[in-house]
Amino acid sequence: MSFVFQESSYNAKAKPERDKLLGFIPWFRPSSAKGYSQALEKTWEDYQDETGNRFARRDNFSDSADFIGWYASKGYFQGFEKQDARSLYLAYHEGYTGFRNKTYRKKQWLIKVADRVQAKSQIYQQQYWGCAKELKKKRFIFF
């Protein structure tokens, strides 16, 4: 959830801001990222291929959340801790190869963003644990 908050502020139609030609004319976008997860086109296609979810859309919250989980699960197999949102976000932003090469070290702004993602993750986790029992209660007689 903290990734979605950071990447799109929960805006299904989010896209990177356009570059400016001559400082004021809207030009091309710097990447193919879009949707809740700001997933790049190629990475999204990899997700669709690996999961078989060919109809997944980047502007669908459930699909985007599943994508982030899919991407993070690759980190778990590389030794990342599930609760380490900071490192997982750095890898999400830079790619796992970029993370291993520590490309983020030259981007102090990104390290600050990753710290905010970690803090937001901890807030969400505390909120969840505060109402976990209530969420697990059966709400309907038929289910």
Q: What residue segments make up the domains of the chain, in order of their start?
A: 2-136
**For 11-22, how does the pLDDT look when each residue is reduced to its tens digit (9 = 90+)?**
999 998 888 989
Residue 142 has pLDDT above 70, yes or no: no
> In this model, does residue 24 exceed pLDDT 80?
yes
- Alpha helix (H) ranges present in 23-107? 41-51, 61-76, 85-100
Euclidean distance between CA atoms 46 and 17, whole angstroms: 24
| Separation between Cα atoms, residue 62 and residue 103, nearest integer Å | 30
Mean pLDDT, to the nearest integer, of 81-107? 96
Torsion of CA 100, 42, 111, 74, to 10 degrees: -50
The predicted pLDDT at position 7 comes to 97
Mean pLDDT of 60-75: 96
Backbone region of residue 10 per phi and psi (left: phi > 0; alpha: psi in -120 to 50; beta: other values): left
3-state class of 99 per DSSP? helix
Q: Which residue has the higher pLDDT, 106 or 24?
A: 106
Question: d(Cα 24, Cα 14) in Å, to the nearest integer?
Answer: 21
Beta strands 20-21; 25-26: pairing state: antiparallel
As a whole number, mean pLDDT of residues 56-70 equals: 98
Q: So what's the pLDDT on residue 140?
A: 66
pTM exceeding 0.85 = yes
Q: What is the pLDDT of residue 133?
A: 84
